[in-house]
A and B are shown apart, each in its own frame.
Chain A
Amino acid sequence: MKVLRAARMERCIGCHSCSLACARQVHKSLSWNKAGIRISSAGGLSTGFEARICLACNPAPCAEACPTGALFQRKGGGVIQKKKLCIRCGECAAACPVDAIFLDHQVNPYVCIHCGQCVEFCPHDCLEMVELTSQTDGEGGSDD
């Protein structure tokens, strides 16, 4: 399974086309927040941009934190979301190590589902879908 990577953010011009595309095509919303990828400056526009995006953890702490199974492990990394099961507790966002889950004011979570629909809307080719090298469950996350 492929995952989305913001591989070339040093090219980003801050147009938000990716966020708008995700909100529009995936979440049927007009928003730059209700999206699986969100762009912000790294401290004012003179410092360039960074993308808040799911890094496709495996196992995913957000899925482990979800009490209802609304978020569950996606094969190859990341999560699959079943919105109907969500009780809007916000535990997923709290568990995410990279602040990649956006909660709207009703505590609905928005997270990247690695569908890749945003990629073609990036004018500078900052984004790409990549095949992750396989990782044995339970071995990820530690470098010590």
Chain B
Amino acid sequence: MIRDHFRIMVANLTTGKTSILDRPGRNEYLGGSGLAAMLFEEFGHMDRDWDDPEQPVIFAIGPLTGYFPLMSKTCCSFRSPYHNQYTESYAGGKSALSLRFADLDALVIVGKAKRLTALCVGSRRVETRDVEYMRGFDALQTGRVLRKMFPGSGRRSILRIGPAAENLSAYACINVDTYRHFGRMGGGTAMGVKNLKAICILGDRGFALPEGKAYSKLYKDIFKQLTTTEMMAKYHGLGTAVNINPLNELKSLPWKNMQQTSSPEADNISGERFADDTLLRNAACAGCPVGCIHVGFVREQFQTNNQYLYRQVGYDYEPIFACGGMLEVTDTGEVLRILDVIEKEGLDNMSSGVAMAWATEALEKGVISEKETVVKLTWGDTESYMQAVEYISRPPNDFYKLLAQGTLKCAEVYGGKDYACVLGQEMAGYATGEVFFVSEALGFRHAHLDAGGYSWDQKHEDKDVKAALDFLIDDARDRIVLNCMVGCLFSRGVYNDDLLAEALESVGYTGLKGKMPEIGKRVQKMRWRLRLGMGYDPNKVKIPKRYSEVTTWKGPIDMDYMDALRTGYAARIMDLGAPIEDDE
């Protein structure tokens, strides 16, 4: 039965002590994004930097996690090493159901371990182990060792970091169960700075369900809706990689550090081509029958006499854009080889690809030399990029140290800011136009999933600033509601506010019908207050020159329109994040 309060485990790595807390707020914050922000207000420090040992890393699930299909993700919040402000990242795997069955609405980690440590939590277990011997282990090897260390196959989740996060790269990720990630904004490093190599969550409890058939019936209805809609066929079939060809046709596919927005070569790395040439199989997050995870296969000869190794590498649209098109690597197997190294080092693949794209252009233009890059970065040269990924993760010099902190930070020192494809962080793969550029540059997570600006660009030729901004704010709020439930955003076409309330009622939690927009707005404001309180000024955001140089299906970028969107969105954000005394 869903509680009217939250049950939270707080693990302190400095003291080695753990406590279980109850906190009210279900009706105000639901869970997930709202719960994480609420907990950051309690445990976080506005006046201390991201690397202060007392800053929390928070993992939160929603009220319906495990109860309904696609309620299968976890929200992770932390003060980001990328911009030293509050942020969130989302991942699935088995993390969400493991937290549910560990009987935790949230896991909060504070403090810093003296030596590299692994934490194991469950409904009847808390344990830390010294794993200093695993320093430098890659993310996949770490998973293998953890699986032996904490048995429980099929009912546990293993979150871990690679060398990049130990070395405090600003865009190191948390690998979840091999193929999923808290990818963006440096969540891995938020763990790394605590000397926390891995977290194993044991989902070792079950819960009684309400009597009667209402819940089972609704589950079945929703299951059918989610598995029979066309939308789901897309995510299940070719997966998100299906977007390569249509975005290329729309001149919206960032290519070669966005020197181009389309290429005749794009078809060679399309979703169709990946499926035909490399798709080994699909996999799923626990609790999701859609199975959008696409695992590609590539084999390579490493010695003469027919000696081969093989790699199984997850792919999606974004990693293909970042490590395919942006680097002009136009062979599916070669893209997978780069992604495999990124996976092992534990980096965000979008940031890594975009950073290397910038470095390649900077090298080409003579802004930097091979003294900095060590290896000759060349468009399409897989080997050089595989090497560069390792240098970002384990920097051999000051250049890579800076590049690992973010492309723009590096460009500010070495030059080449104009063509750093950075919108708050290294961009997502949508050169769709003004609304997306502004949406990602200013947005809360600087993620393409903050709001559907990319979609607005593709559907609207008019340049109605107010309508576009209204859409961004309202769409973000709707997505926040689903982020509080921590449902997969792929299900947003099915889980509307009424269905969410009905689902809650079917498992005995009443009283939220009609309340979702209000909750979404409350959390939207709270998140912005946190971010602004840590120094974010959306008015100071600059959109690099490269974004004014591209041509999309609508023609050249309209700078006046983009500026109006930028200043208008900044004003709306300041308004949303206004201090609380002016608020409610």
A residues at B contact (CB < 8 Å): 13-17, 20, 23-25, 28-34, 38-41, 43-46, 48, 104-105, 121, 123-124
Some 6 contacts from A to B, beta carbons below 8 A apart, are A13-B281, A14-B286, A15-B290, A17-B287, A20-B287, A29-B208
B residues at A contact (CB < 8 Å): 66-67, 69, 97, 100-101, 124, 143-144, 147, 153-155, 177-179, 203-209, 211, 215-216, 219, 223, 227, 236, 281-291, 293, 295, 312
Contact of A15 among B177, B205, B287 (CB under 8 A): B287
Extra contacts, 20 of them, besides A17-B289, A32-B154, A121-B289 (Cβ < 8 A), are A13-B293, A14-B284, A15-B284, A15-B287, A17-B223, A17-B287, A24-B215, A25-B216, A29-B209, A30-B67, A31-B205, A32-B286, A33-B155, A41-B154, A44-B144, A45-B177, A45-B178, A46-B312, A121-B223, A123-B291
Shortest B544–chain A CB gap in Å is: 38
Q: How far is the CA of A24 from the CA of B565 in the complex (A)?
A: 49
Do B291 and A30 touch across chains, with their CB atoms under 8 A apart? no
Contact of A13 among B100, B155, B206, B284 (CB under 8 A): B284
Q: How far is the CA of A17 from the CA of B286 in the complex (A)?
A: 8
Query: With A30-B66, A41-B154, A46-B312 known to touch, is A15 a contact of B286 (CB < 8 Å)?
Result: yes
Shortest A42–chain B CB gap in Å is: 8
From A23, A44, A105, name the one whose CB has the most chain B CB atoms within 10 angstroms: A44
Q: How far is the CA of A119 from the CA of B66 in the complex (A)?
A: 19
Neighbouring A residues of B179 by C-beta, 8 Å: 45
B210 nearest CB neighbor, chain A only: A28
Neighbouring A residues of B66 by C-beta, 8 Å: 20, 30
Shortest B234–chain A CB gap in Å is: 15
Neighbouring A residues of B293 by C-beta, 8 Å: 13
Query: With A14-B284, A24-B216, A29-B209 known to touch, is A39 a contact of B154 (CB < 8 Å)?
Result: yes
Do B147 and A32 touch across chains, with their CB atoms under 8 A apart? no
Neighbouring B residues of A34 by C-beta, 8 Å: 206
Contact of B219 among A14, A24, A43, A124 (CB under 8 A): A24
Contact of B286 among A16, A44, A124 (CB under 8 A): A16
Neighbouring B residues of A48 by C-beta, 8 Å: 281
Neighbouring A residues of B178 by C-beta, 8 Å: 44-46
Q: How far is the CA of A65 from the CA of B3 in the complex (A)?
A: 40
